[in-house]
């Protein structure tokens, strides 16, 4: 068994967001599944310093994991 994985689901430990260094020396928080910059409260999380990028990435991953653990009709499961 892999982590806290339930049959037919992604493991809870899978981080949806990561950080990457851009060519101009700034950092971007991005969705690891799409490659697109993360959007938080209507703002793309790019052009950041490394510290804030890491902090925002940790917050977004924690929120995403909490959302996936919460049983509701809005989490994509029918």
- Look at phi and psi of residue 34 and say left if phi exceeds 0, alpha if psi is from -120 to 50, else beta: alpha
Mean pLDDT, rounded, for 30-51: 96
List the domain boundaries for the chain.
17-68
Facing residues of 31 across strands? 17
Listed as own residue / partner, the contacts of 63-68 with beta carbons closer than 8 Å and 24 or more positions apart are 64/15, 64/16, 64/17, 65/12, 68/10, 68/12
Give 51-72 pLDDT, tens digit per residue. Answer: 999 999 999 999 999 988 877 6
| pLDDT score, position 77 | 47
Mean pLDDT, rounded, for 34-60: 96
| Mean pLDDT for the chain overall | 84
């Amino acid at each position: 068994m892999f982590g806290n994985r339930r049959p037919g689901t992604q493991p809870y430990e899978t981080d949806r967001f990561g950080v990457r260094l851009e060519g101009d020396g700034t950092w971007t928080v991005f969705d690891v599944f799409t490659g697109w910059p993360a959007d938080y409260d209507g703002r793309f999380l790019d052009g950041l310093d490394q510290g804030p990028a890491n902090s925002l990435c940790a917050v977004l991953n924690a929120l995403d994991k909490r959302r996936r653990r919460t049983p509701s009709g809005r989490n994509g499961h029918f």
